[in-house]
Amino acid sequence: MSEFLSDEEQISRFKSWWGENGTSLVIGVAVAVAVIVGWRFYDRSSQAAMELGSQAYSEYKVAAGNEREAMAAKVKEEFAGTSYHALVAMGQAAQASDGGDLQGAATLLEDAIGAAGNTVLGDLGRLRLAKVQFGLDRKEAALTTLSAIKNDGYRSWALESQGDIYFAMGNVEQAHAAYVGAADSLREGDQRPLLKIKVENTAPFNGEFVRFTSDIDEALEAAETSLAQDNEVETAENE
């Protein structure tokens, strides 16, 4: 019926509506504009930060000696909680491990995991941390670390590592279950002949799980020799 109202009546009604809703409308529009502007600013800032982080990490990779340590500290301070932070910490952990400082490597890997969170990179850090913990004879801690790995790309490796730890602890049944789980978690096309050997050599014998240490060691050595020979053949064929 508004088309039949006089101009004065329509203006009067609009003023009344505006008095009741105008402030809320203005605030709503202002908030929407602020969100759009803020998001665009954040997006540009994030892109700029990624570029700066990438540049800093590249400089760290080519640096050496004291300069490398300084760049590592810079990346971890200025880009804390990013993948660059995690990568630097993992690089430092590898150096510590190579130098025999397993406890230092463990601390650095924990730092890397904290920065990477529940990402694929974080799970790579967990896989490496478990290996270091095993080297420190902290087998239960290593099993806990491996159980936190969820990403499909590392799930099979985590289960196989769990199997190795259970086997070292003398628990053949759990080792076999972990190896079977690892085999079942393989992605299509993955080839892990050593894993297959582990599954077969920890399988129950006459209904019992028996620890055949020499058998599995010999099997692993045979597999490594076979793989080395296959690689030599493949190299010769490609030459």
Mean pLDDT estimate for the chain: 78
Alpha helices in 63-188 (DSSP H): 65-78, 83-98, 102-116, 120-135, 139-147, 152-168, 172-184
How many separate helices (H) and strands (E) can be counted in the chain? 10, 0
Structural domain boundaries in the chain: 52-150, 151-232
The DSSP 8-state label assigned to residue 3 in this structure reads G
The single residue listed with the structure tokens 């800093």 is 56
pLDDT given for residue 41 in this prediction: 45
pLDDT confidence band for 42 (50 / 70 / 90): very low
- To the nearest 5 percent, what fractions of the chain are helix, strand and coil? 80, 0, 20
Answer yes or no: is pLDDT of 149 > 80.
yes
The CATH number for 52-150, chosen from 3.30.930.10, 3.30.420.130, 3.40.50.880, 1.25.40.10, is 1.25.40.10
Contacts of 187 (CB under 8 A, 6+ apart): 152, 156
Express each pLDDT in 111-135 by its tens digit.
999 999 999 999 999 999 999 999 9
* Inter-CA distances, 90 with 113, 184, 219, Å: 9, 29, 32
**Three-class SS state of 160:** helix
The residue to which tokens 């936190």 are assigned = 148
Cα–Cα separations (whole angstroms), residue 100 to 5, 142, 199 = 90, 18, 31
What pLDDT, on the 0 to 100 scale, is given for residue 1? Answer: 46
Stated pTM of the model:
0.68
Q: What percent of the chain has pLDDT over 70?
A: 64
Average pLDDT over residues 232-238: 42
List pLDDT tens digits, range 201-214: 898 876 677 666 55
